[in-house]
Amino acid sequence: MSLKLKSDKYKKARGGSSKLLEISCAECGEIICDYQKDGPGSLKRMYFDRISNPVVSISEKSLKCSQGHLLGVAIIYKKENRPAFRLVIEAVTKSYKKKTLQF
- Where exactly are the structural domains of the chain? 15-94
The whole-number pLDDT of residue 56 equals 83
Q: For all residues of the chain together, what is the average pLDDT?
A: 85
Residue 19 has pLDDT above 50, yes or no: yes
Sequence-distant (≥ 6) Cβ neighbours of residue 101 within 8 angstroms: 2, 3, 4, 5
> What is the separation of C-alpha 67 from the centre of its chain, rounded to a whole number of angstroms?
19
| Average pLDDT for 34-62 | 88
pLDDT at residue 71 is higher than 90: yes
103 — pLDDT class (breaks 50, 70, 90): very low
Q: pTM higher than 0.75, yes or no?
A: yes
Q: Where are the beta strands (DSSP E) in 58-98?
A: 62-64, 70-77, 82-87, 92-97
CA–CA gap between residue 59 and residue 14 (Å, rounded): 27
